[in-house]
Amino acid sequence: MRERLNNIKNLAIAQIINASEKEELDRIKTQYLGKNGELNQISKSLSSLSQEERSDIGRLLNDVKKTISEAIDNSSLTAPRASASPDITLPGFPIPVGFLHPTTVVVRQMNSILKSYGFSVIDGPEIETEEYNFSRLNLPPDHPARDLQDTIYIEEPSTLLRTHTSSVEARVLENLQPPLRVVIPGKCYRYENANSTNHYIFNQYQAVVVGENVTMANLFATIETFFKHLYGEGVKIRFRQKYYPEVEPGVGPDMLCTFCQGKGCQVCKYRGWIEMGGAGMIHPNILKKVGIDPQKFSGFAWGMGLDRFVMTKFGISDIRSLYNGDISYSV
């Protein structure tokens, strides 16, 4: 129902912006806000929800009503008709300019959380070399990630579209001296067929920490704190042992599926948990390549699937909705 309300809001705003006549605006108002309108129909169905869901959906429903009503009131079509002698000193009417993309909203939230813990936000090139995308990250020449079936090459084998934001991690370690804490949000590219949970274009959210006496306990505590800030104290996460060449040891943080609450659905691939990314302690070989003494310094890194955070925050069940240009995000 949360997804349906967000879709109704975005679709109504689009119709209001594109309306060309006052009568069309009236029809939109009746369709969504009228006695028998879509939002009142949803309001009548709230009684079938649990008390917690009813309170949560009720707040969202009121916000959607308010947003649509204000958009109609602020439309240029509802402005009073100009008189013969208009007062040009009067203030103008605000023009609706749309909304931020869900990915932008979530990135700003994540950046704000981690900035408060001393992290800096940086960026890096999306067109990369195999040196920074693979070699400096402990991926040997025969690693399957380098194959054409996984990587989109611009000029094989030296130039490619980065397959992960870890490539910027390699540049950070080369150019900055520890102690350091950085996060890197950005687009990545892989040779994949698009479906509801995977896309050949996707976003990752990388974090890198290097200093003295940095341990797995610091990694677990940082991820748990990060998730609680983003989803609330009730969020449930777990860690599974995973293998990644860039880290040793490696873990995969999972979050209880927000779509099915652990029962199993298409989004979580019927596992009840959504894999949110990979993490672990930075491999000593990577530190040695840039002249950092692994006997003195240690660090952790994670690469989170940013799109999955966006989907769970906004109730979007199909990743393709984030890239198809449909402002209603219909799925």
**Helix, strand, coil % in the chain, rounded to nearest 5:** 40, 20, 40
C-alpha span between 14 and 187 (Å, rounded)? 27
pLDDT tens digits for range 137-187: 988 888 887 886 688 999 988 899 999 999 999 999 999 999 999 999 999
Q: Model's pTM, two decimal places?
A: 0.68
Tokens read off for 253: 């943080």
Count CA atoms within 13 Å of residue 242 on its CB side.
21
3 state SS of 274:
strand
Pairing outcome for strands 127-129 and 237-242: unpaired
- Domain layout of the chain by residue ranges: 2-78, 102-322
Q: How much of the chain, in percent, has pLDDT values that exceed 90? A: 51
Report the CATH fold assignment for 102-322: BirA Bifunctional Protein; domain 2 (3.30.930)
CA distance 314 to 326: 15
Q: Please state whether 162 falls in left (phi above 0), alpha (psi between -120 and 50) or beta.
A: beta
Q: What is the chain's length?
A: 331
DSSP H or E run through 241: strand 237-242
Q: Which SS3 state, helix, strand or coil, does residue 319 take?
A: helix
Tens digit of each residue's pLDDT (9 = 90 or more) over 218-272: 999 999 999 999 999 999 999 999 999 999 999 999 999 988 999 998 888 899 9
Instruction: Give me the pLDDT at residue 201, please.
Output: 92
**Residue carrying structure tokens 């028998």:** 36
**Which residue would you say has higher pLDDT here, 117 or 74?**
117
Question: What tokens does 50 get?
Answer: 């649990």
Which pLDDT score is estimated for 326?
62
Distances (CA, A) of 259 to 27, 95, 274: 33, 35, 10
Predicted local distance difference test score (pLDDT) of residue 238 = 95
**What's the pLDDT at 216?**
96
The per-residue pLDDT for 266 is 84
User: What does the alpha-carbon distance between residue 288 and residue 275 come to, in Å, rounded to a whole number?
Assistant: 30
Q: Note the pLDDT of residue 38.
A: 86
The DSSP secondary-structure symbol of 98 reads -
Distance of CA 52 to the CA centre of its chain: 25
Are the C-beta atoms of 57 and 39 separated by less than 8 Å?
Answer: no
DSSP 316: -
